[in-house]
Structure 1
Amino acid sequence: MAGHSKWANTKHRKAAVDAKRGKIFSRLSKDITMAAKAGGGDPDANAKLRTLLNKARAANMPADNIDRAVKKGTGELPGVVYEEFVYEGYAPNGVAVVVEVTTDNKNRAASEIRSTFTKRGGNLAGANAVAFMFNRCGQFLIAKDQTDEEKLMDVALEAGAEDIKVEDEGFEVLAPITEYDSVSQALSDAGIEVASSELAYLAETLTPIDDAAAAKSIMALIDALDDLDDVQNVFHNADFADGLLDDEE
């Protein structure tokens, strides 16, 4: 979720996702399988996998599910072949949307995403239609009780992070994609627990939204996309005015 406060939007998304625990387990399982396939099944040597395993345990994902997901990625267990795709489109009020998909059936995923955009007042667009409005980078959210700003700057910047933002709720660390693993490893080595970690599309060009009805229609599309089984992440460039999402949380 993008907007003027990543933390606020993350809390909204977490409230929605936590209500559907089966979906978050499925999402984590796919992520773990893909991470193990790409970087191996040893979390000590695979920073992305280690982060995902920590996230899975924090979500109380059963250990057997985690183990199966890793082994499917390493080939120790048979599993479906997943592919990753990115779709772009527009929500109501011209809000740009980027949808990350991990699926074993591209045709099904594309059909469901197109239908969801259409039914919710948006439209699916072609490749690079809105991606230029976003910065693809590594993003880490860290609660303030985990560290202080000086220590975080020393650890993260030394590991290759390019920016650290301080908000009321915590810290946001941004890093180039090429430095994602090294920053993740450095934070782990320093004992700094990460609340959220992902390769994100962060909006550089924002669309201000100050109308409650517009906010509701935009979030209806975002949430409907997020509910789809094949969808892993949804990013957008809506900048909601303070208080507009309070009823949604």
Structure 2
Amino acid sequence: MRAVLQLQALTNRVSLSSSTFVRGKSLWLDANRAHRGCSPVRRIWTSAPLCMGRRSSKIAGRKEAQDAKKAKLYSRIGKEVVSAVKKGGPNVTSNSVLAALLEKAKELDVPKDIVERNIKRATEKGQEAYIEKVYEVYGYGGVSIVVEVSTDKVHRSVAKIREVIRDYGGKMADSGSVMFKFRRVRAVNIKVTNADKDQLLDIALDAGAEDVIEPPTYEDDTEEDRSERYYKIVGSSENYSAILFKLREEGIDFEPDNGSELLPNTTVEVDDEAMDLNKELMSKLLELDDVDAVYTDQK
């Protein structure tokens, strides 16, 4: 079997390993907050699933994976800027879509030069607007995979996706046969060494977030393994800015999503061989330039 490429973009955002999406015990935060006049009481869910072994899922190449995730974010914002300029022009005063995108880029800490470069790119001869597409895929062991694409050449992108799926053992699914297994959210990832869990729960409650998801644990974890994992604060488009504001106010470093994220409603547990094959398939899909994100319900 081909060696698997572990991607933080899949285990974190893009995702954390979907085992982190399993909800476990609930924490009630009313008692120590009543004196601060916070009401009504909200329930924040956390989970910390224990994964038995699975050395193939261990943290590997995390720095490279995080760089790749950031590159995907910049690429996606750049494409959205190009499309907005193609449709409404480069003037933010008259182009409300572009103005909103610039605010979004600022929120997600996208470098200004990337935005400016894509505004200029949109005016170049032959540059087409980007179209967003979603492809649904069946992986090994009953696992579902969603591939989000932004492309200026639909035939090119679908051909490349089909080629990867054919070469790495997946199967294209009919539209709607996979998407219902996921929900769309906004999410922020915080390294466990950058914040205390109770502090994040306080922030989540104040900002109106719905979940704080703890990273998975493995029976053979080292201290270094544990220090390289991430909490995930899950919210909506309406309260996402408030979550980021609270994190910045507390001086906590974080990694934003790329504008939205899909979380599985439930997860599917597979054996080690299927896990490795699915991870390689998703890794190869993420390497495609037109692919912005890949999500799975694999545990």
Bucket of the pairwise TM-score, normalised by the shorter protein: 0.7 to 0.9
Q: Does 1:153 align with 2:201?
A: yes
Instruction: Give the structure 2 partner of residue 40 of structure 1.
Output: 99
1:35-76: CA deviation from partner (whole Å, max 9, x where unpaired) = 694452786xx2x3124335x6xxxxxx7445313x359x6x
Aligned to 1:40, what secondary structure does the other structure show? helix
Shift of 1:226: 0.8
Instruction: Give the structure 2 partner of residue 109 of structure 1.
Output: 157
**Counterpart selection for 1:3 from 15, 18, 27:** 18
Q: Does 1:29 align with 2:98?
A: no
Aligned to 2:232, what secondary structure does the other structure show? strand
Instruction: Give the structure 2 partner of residue 183 of structure 1.
Output: 243
Whole-angstrom CA distance in 2 between matches of 1:41 and 1:205: 33
Q: Does 1:119 align with 2:180?
A: no
Whole-angstrom CA distance in 2 between matches of 1:135 and 1:42: 23
Aligned to 2:177, what secondary structure does the other structure show? coil
* Percent of pairs with identical residues: 26
AA matched with 1:133 = K
Shift of 1:190: 4.0
Whole-angstrom CA distance in 2 between matches of 1:182 and 1:114: 40
Contact 1:99 1:235 in 2 (8 A): yes
Whole-angstrom CA distance in 1 between matches of 2:130 and 2:196: 39
Give the root-mean-square deviation of aligned CA atoms.
3.4
Instruction: Give the structure 2 partner of residue 237 of structure 1.
Output: 297
Task: Please show how residues 1-249 of structure 1 align to structure 2 within 5 Å.
Answer: 1=10, 2-5=17-20, 14=62, 17=65, 25=71, 28-34=74-80, 37=84, 38=97, 40=99, 46=103, 48-54=104-110, 64-65=113-114, 67-69=116-118, 71-72=119-120, 77-78=123-124, 80-167=128-215, 168=226, 169-198=229-258, 199-211=260-272, 213-239=273-299
**Quick one: structure 1 residues 195 and 31, their matched pair in 2 at CA, closer, same or farther if it must change by over 3 Å?**
same
Whole-angstrom CA distance in 1 between matches of 2:164 and 2:145: 13
Consecutive unaligned residues of structure 1, counting only runs of 5 or more, are 57-62, 240-249
More strand by share: 1
Q: For the pair shown, which has the larger CA radius of gyration, 1 or 2?
A: 2
Which sits farther off after the overlay, 93-102 or 142-151? 142-151
**Quick one: structure 1 residues 25 and 206, their matched pair in 2 at CA, closer, same or farther if it must change by over 3 Å?**
closer
1:196-248: CA deviation from partner (whole Å, max 9, x where unpaired) = 4242111222121223x322221221111111110011111112xxxxxxxxx
Number of equivalent positions = 223
Whole-angstrom CA distance in 2 between matches of 1:39 and 1:187: 26
Whole-angstrom CA distance in 2 between matches of 1:51 and 1:94: 37
**Quick one: structure 1 residues 232 and 49, their matched pair in 2 at CA, closer, same or farther if it must change by over 3 Å?**
same
**Quick one: structure 1 residues 80 and 122, their matched pair in 2 at CA, closer, same or farther if it must change by over 3 Å?**
same
Whole-angstrom CA distance in 1 between matches of 2:195 and 2:73: 29
Consecutive unaligned residues of structure 2, counting only runs of 5 or more, are 1-9, 11-16, 22-47, 49-55, 85-96, 216-225
Contact 2:74 2:114 in 1 (8 A): no
